[in-house]
């Protein structure tokens, strides 16, 4: 179950109105009572009528009766928070869950549910195409957790157009295989630095800011290729831009509670494989690829600026 959850988590952020249209929920069951907390970015519900009613109406636990609810905006985290109490007819051993939050938010919305029962944990992911499941609580071994979280990091690194297009931009910006290896390594190092250092500060990056900043990195690298084709030390630029893209992984780690080392390892493997594959294609195309480099850089510039402006507008 957990490996399947990791796959859906990482693939659940498709291109759309928001790169990261997500919410998270925590369900804690003690005996026949359960407490559920839902947290969703404020900008995801700007269009939702009566969110205090609509959101919790889309999340149901089989056999449980809702006895209280309370919702409020949390300006500090730019989130909307709902808490609810439920009562089951008897202490459950497994829990059926139905979640249709995509019906009232945006079509590509993904909800990550974490649940605890008697010291055992389970997770589930819901989107428009996967709206119900049964949580069967079990003990998770260290090896299973490591594999699950590494796979999740692998897939999360390639889950959106901004991340994939930036990898393409790195390949176009590299003028040799050695330079690509150096740029790729420093970019991964920049991501690791972000995930390690930002939590030590008081800053909590908002998802919308991360989307806008990541889109701008694509535009910046495109400008480098168009206006400064002979510039040196692009590996330094790659490292700096990697710190921005590392915020994607940081938000993912915070949302899932996964271990940063496993997520980063999976992401690094995925990015290395994609860079190698794209470089192989470019070298096979030879002169054709070089002739189209400026056109590709121009397209990336337009994409990056367009996405950046869309995110500024919300």
Q: Is residue 69 part of a domain?
A: yes
**CB-neighbour burial class of residue 145 (10 A; exposed 0-12, middle 13-18, buried 19+):** middle
Domain shared by 179 and 221, yes or no: yes
Query: Is residue 190 scored above 70 in pLDDT?
Result: yes
> What is the tens place of the pLDDT at every residue in 101-123?
989 988 778 888 989 998 788 88
Q: Is residue 145 part of a domain?
A: no
Query: Is residue 59 scored above 70 in pLDDT?
Result: yes
Domain shared by 164 and 303, yes or no: yes
> What is the tens place of the pLDDT at every residue in 256-278?
788 999 999 999 999 999 999 99
Domain shared by 69 and 168, yes or no: no
> What is the tens place of the pLDDT at every residue in 140-170?
678 878 888 898 888 778 766 667 878 888 8
Domain shared by 11 and 66, yes or no: yes
Domain boundary among 113, 140, 167: 140
Q: Which pLDDT score, from 0 to 100, does residue 20 have? A: 55
For the chain, what is the mean pLDDT?
84
Domain shared by 13 and 116, yes or no: yes
Domain count, the chain: 2
Domain shared by 128 and 273, yes or no: no
Domain shared by 269 and 250, yes or no: yes
Domain shared by 162 and 259, yes or no: yes
- Quote the domain boundaries for residue 110: 2-140
Domain shared by 101 and 158, yes or no: no
Domain shared by 220 and 76, yes or no: no
Q: Is residue 248 part of a domain?
A: yes
Domain shared by 160 and 84, yes or no: no
Domain shared by 161 and 134, yes or no: no
Query: Is residue 91 scored above 80 in pLDDT?
Result: yes
Domain boundary among 121, 140, 159: 140
Query: Is residue 38 scored above 70 in pLDDT?
Result: yes
Statement: the pTM of the whole predicted model exceeds 0.75: no
């Amino acid at each position: 179950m957990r490996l399947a959850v990791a796959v859906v988590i990482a693939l659940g952020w498709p291109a759309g109105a928001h790169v990261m249209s997500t919410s998270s929920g925590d369900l804690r069951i003690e005996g026949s009572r359960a407490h559920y907390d839902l947290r969703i970015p404020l900008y995801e519900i700007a269009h939702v009528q009566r969110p205090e009613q609509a959101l919790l109406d889309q999340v149901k636990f089989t056999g449980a009766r809702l006895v209280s609810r309370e919702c409020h905006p949390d300006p500090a985290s730019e989130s909307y928070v709902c808490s609810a109490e439920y009562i089951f007819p008897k202490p459950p051993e497994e829990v059926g869950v139905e979640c249709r939050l995509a019906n009232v938010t945006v079509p590509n919305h993904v909800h990550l549910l974490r649940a605890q029962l008697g010291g055992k944990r389970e997770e589930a992911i819901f989107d428009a195409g996967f709206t119900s499941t049964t949580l069967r609580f079990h003990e998770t071994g260290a090896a299973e957790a490591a594999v699950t979280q590494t796979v999740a990091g692998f897939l999360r690194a390639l889950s959106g157009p901004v991340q994939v297009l930036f990898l393409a931009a790195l390949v176009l910006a590299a003028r040799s295989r050695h330079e690509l290896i150096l740029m790729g390594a420093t970019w991964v190092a920049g991501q690791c630095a972000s995930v390690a250092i930002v939590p030590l500060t008081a800053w909590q990056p908002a998802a919308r800011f991360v989307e806008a900043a990541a889109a701008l990195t694509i535009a910046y690298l495109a400008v480098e290729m168009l206006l400064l084709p002979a510039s040196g030390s692009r590996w330094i630029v790659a490292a700096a831009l990697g710190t921005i893209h590392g915020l994607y992984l940081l938000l993912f780690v915070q949302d899932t509670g996964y271990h940063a080392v496993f997520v980063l390892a999976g992401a690094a493997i995925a990015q290395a494989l994609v860079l190698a594959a794209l470089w192989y294609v470019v070298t096979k195309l030879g002169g054709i690829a070089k002739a189209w480099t400026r056109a590709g850089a121009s397209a990336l510039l337009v994409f990056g600026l367009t996405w950046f402006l869309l995110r500024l507008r919300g």
